[in-house]
Amino acid sequence: MAVEIVEFELTAPWTGFIAEPLVGGSNAGVLVLSGSSGRIERERCRLFARAGVTAATVRWFGGPGQPPGICEVPLEILVEATELLRERGAERVSILGLSKSAEAALLVSTLSDCADAVIALAPSSVVWANVGPGLDGRDRPYRSSWTWQGRPLPFVPYVDSWVPAEPSEGRVAVLDWYESSLTAGEDRLDAAAIPIEKADADLVLIAGGADRMWPSLRFVQELADRRTASGRDAMVITRIDAGHRIIFPAEVAPPPSTRFDHGGTPEAGAALGAVAWPRVMAAIRGF
C-alpha cells in the first residue's frame, strides 16, 4: 500500500513525522516510539501505514535543544503527539513503545486519557533513573527519566558499584545491573512502580524470556498482576527464547549491537513478533 510521509513540528524542540495510508485507511492512529536510541521510527511507521493505520513518531530525546540523555523528559510530548493524530482524523489512538519508551507509554496512560491502547514491547514495571545527561549536561546525581507537569517522577537508581561480566563477543549484558539495582532499591520500588491499574487504556504487553537488557518478562508479569488485581485485564504475549528485540512481520531485523547483548536470536524475536502482530493490530483498531 502506498503511503504519504508528512514532516511535522510539535512544541519546539520536539519534531517527528507522520505516515498515512493514501487509500483504505482506518480511523485508528498509533504513536510509534523508539527505545533508548531515541531515533525517529520511520520504517515502523511505514509498516503501520501500509496496514491502513495513520502512524506518527517523535524524537523524544537527543535532538537539538532536547536533553542529550533520557533525563527528566517531559511526558507531555507524548500527549501532544496523540492530539496531533486526533487532529488528523484518528478517533482511536494507541501508543506503541519499546523498552524505555514503553516505560514512558505506560506512565502517560496512567496520567492522562490520551491513549485508547498501549502496546508495550519489552517494558519496565517501574520508573528508572536517568540514562545519560539532562539539559544541564550532567548525569549525576541520578534524576528521574521522566517529568509530569514539571515534577520528576519517583524512580529507582542504579547500583554504581556494578561491574559487568566478561562481554560476549564484545557485547555487554546489563540484565544483572538492573536486577541488582532492583534489589538495592527495594525501599523505592513501591513509589517508583508504574500504577498501570489507574490506566483506562487497553493494554498489550510483549516480552521475551531471554532478554539480556533488563528483566522484561518479570516486568510484564508484574504489570499484568497489578492490572488483574484492579479488576482489569491485559493481553500478555511472551516467548521464552526471545530477547529484547521484537520484530514484526515484513520488518528487517536490525544488525546486532556492537555494545549490548540484547539476548535471544533474530529468529526468536521474529517469531514473537509474528504471534504478536495480529493482536497488536486488533488493539490499535479496537476490535
**How distant is the alpha carbon of residue 175 from its chain centre?**
17
Q: Which of 8-22, 168-182, 209-223, 234-248 has the lowest mean pLDDT?
A: 8-22
| pLDDT at 228 exceeding the cut of 80 | yes
More confident residue, 235 or 24: 235
Q: In CATH, what number does 3-285 get?
A: 3.40.50.1820
Average pLDDT over residues 73-97: 94
Cell of 67: 536533553
| pLDDT at 48 exceeding the cut of 60 | yes
Average pLDDT over residues 178-196: 98
| pLDDT at 4 exceeding the cut of 60 | no
Average pLDDT over residues 226-249: 96
Structure letter (DSSP) for residue 116: S
| pLDDT at 93 exceeding the cut of 70 | yes
Buried b (16+ CB within 10 A) or exposed e, 219-232: bbbbbbebbeeeeb
Average pLDDT over residues 253-257: 83
* 3-state secondary structure at position 27: coil
User: Hey, what amino acid is at 156?
Assistant: V
Give the global pTM: 0.94
Tell me the pLDDT band of 18, cut-offs 50, 70 and 90: confident
Tell me what pLDDT residue 168 has: 59
CB-based contacts of 95, cutoff 8 Å, min separation 6: 30, 31, 33, 78, 82, 105, 108, 109, 114, 115, 117, 118, 119
CA pair distance 219, 124, nearest whole angstrom: 5
Tell me what pLDDT residue 94 has: 98
| pLDDT at 7 exceeding the cut of 60 | no
| pLDDT at 1 exceeding the cut of 50 | no
* Distances, alpha carbon 251 to alpha carbons 33, 120, 259, 275, in Å: 15, 18, 22, 14
C-beta of residue 45 within 8 angstroms of C-beta of residue 17: yes
Query: Residue 235 pairs with which residues in a beta bridge?
Result: 204
| Phi, then psi, of 262 in degrees rounded to 5 | -80, -15
Tell me what pLDDT residue 55 has: 93
Map grid coordinates 536517568 to a residue: 130
More confident residue, 17 or 213: 213
Mean pLDDT of the chain: 92
| pLDDT at 89 exceeding the cut of 70 | yes
Tell me the pLDDT band of 187, cut-offs 50, 70 and 90: very high
Rg (CA), the chain: 18
CA pair distance 222, 188, nearest whole angstrom: 16
Tell me what pLDDT residue 180 has: 97
User: Hey, what amino acid is at 165?
Assistant: A
- Kindly list the domain boundaries of the chain, sorted by start residue: 3-285
| pLDDT at 201 exceeding the cut of 50 | yes
> Beta strands 92-98 and 117-121: pairing type?
parallel
Average pLDDT over residues 105-117: 98
